[in-house]
Structure formats: structure tokens, C-alpha cells
């Protein structure tokens, strides 16, 4: 990723989690590889991936992507379409350095923090997921904001 947050040349973005920036304040970002099985990568190349309900959990020193929707490739045969391997929302292991996992584990244990995927992209033929340490935004009363805007508008008109 470049410093502006836009993907570099030669990177094909296949999915973004636009809702993440609305619901969370995104802090530190990391790039992680994803362990896939069978025809999942072919399905991803077709753009069939959804990160909306996904999050990352650290367990036993490993990072796991939970809730991401990746269907099996429609034309795959054999073991890839049977049983547990065909589960579209199965947990997938993320490939990160031990130091990065330790940082994320420590940060995510604090109250109000979570780890969410923000973008999935293909880089040199491999699936990479950008994950971010995030803090939930406070919800505000929209009626108050509307009333404030209307009162300011009324004052300017006078």
C-alpha cells in the first residue's frame, strides 16, 4: 500500500469493506496473506468475496479471518466442493509476522478495540487482506445535529 492508502501498481483490488470506515476509527493497518483451499482463489479472481461481516481473532499466537464470504469455484470438482471445504464462511488463517500478531493481540485486548479487514486484493497472484486495528465510533443523536444545522441556517438568514 502507498502512504495515501491507495493500492500500488500491479495490485488488483477485489473487495473493500466501505462500512468499516463509517463504523470504526481505523488506526494501524497491516497486510496479511490468507490460506485458501482448492478453487477459492479462482472464485476470488471472479470478484466473489465479501468482507462486510468479517473480523480477525487472535488465537494461540495465530490470526484468523472469521466471517468472510468466499464461495467455492463454480466449476471445481472433487474434494473442493464437498463437506467442510465448501463452507463459504469458514475461518481462514492469516499469515502475519509473529511481532505483528503480538502487537495486534495486545492492542485488541483493550476495551473498545477490534481488528477488521478493510480491503482484499491480489498482489502477484496471491490474495492479501489489509487489516486494521479499529476503535468503534461513538454514535450521536442525528436529530440534535439536524436541529443545530437548522438553527445556524436560521441565524445566517437574519
Residue 34's Cβ-side half-sphere holds a number of Cα atoms within 13 Å equal to 28
**What is the model's pLDDT at position 84?**
47
**What is the model's pLDDT at position 144?**
67
For residue 10, give the nearest of 134, 128, 141 by alpha carbon. 128
Dihedral of CA atoms 104, 110, 114, 115 in degrees, nearest 10, equals 0
**Is residue 22 a part of any domain in this protein?**
yes
Q: Cell numbers of 41, please?
A: 482463489
Residue-number span of the structural domain to which 101 is assigned: 11-157
CATH number at residue 114: 2.40.280.10
What average pLDDT does the structure give for the chain?
85
Regarding pTM above 0.85, the answer is: no
**What is the model's pLDDT at position 112?**
84
Phi, psi angle pair for 14, to nearest 5° = -105, -20
Asked if residues 29 and 138 have their Cβ atoms less than 8 Å apart, the reply is no
The model's confidence at residue 24, banded by pLDDT at 50, 70 and 90, is confident
- Segment 83-91 shows an average pLDDT of 71
For residue 106, give the nearest of 49, 143, 61, 70 by alpha carbon. 61
In whole angstroms, what is the distance from residue 30 CA to residue 139 CA? 26
Least reliable range by pLDDT among 26-35, 60-69, 74-83:
74-83
How many structural domains is the chain composed of?
A: 1
Q: Give per-residue burial for 41-63: e unless 16+ CB within 10 Å, then b.
A: bbbbbeebbbbeebbbbbeeeeb
**Is residue 4 a part of any domain in this protein?**
no
**What is the model's pLDDT at position 9?**
66
SS3 126: strand
CA angle 105, 58, 3 (to 5 degrees): 65
102/111: higher pLDDT = 102
Amino acid at each position: 500500500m502507498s502512504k495515501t492508502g491507495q493500492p500500488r501498481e500491479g495490485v488488483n483490488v477485489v473487495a473493500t469493506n466501505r462500512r468499516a470506515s463509517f463504523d470504526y476509527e481505523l488506526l494501524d493497518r497491516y497486510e496479511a496473506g490468507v490460506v485458501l483451499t482448492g478453487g477459492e482463489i479462482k472464485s476470488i479472481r471472479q470478484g466473489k468475496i465479501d468482507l462486510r461481516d468479517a473480523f480477525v481473532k487472535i488465537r494461540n499466537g495465530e490470526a484468523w479471518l472469521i466471517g468472510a464470504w468466499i464461495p467455492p469455484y463454480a466449476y471445481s470438482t472433487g474434494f473442493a466442493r464437498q463437506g467442510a471445504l465448501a463452507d463459504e464462511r469458514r475461518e481462514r488463517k492469516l499469515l502475519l509476522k509473529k511481532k505483528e500478531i503480538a502487537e495486534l493481540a495486545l492492542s485488541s485486548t483493550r476495551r473498545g478495540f477490534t481488528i477488521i479487514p478493510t480491503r482484499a486484493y491480489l498482489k502477484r497472484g496471491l490474495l492479501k487482506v489489509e487489516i486494521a486495528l479499529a476503535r468503534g465510533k461513538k454514535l450521536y443523536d442525528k436529530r440534535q445535529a439536524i436541529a443545530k444545522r437548522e438553527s445556524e441556517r436560521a441565524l445566517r438568514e437574519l
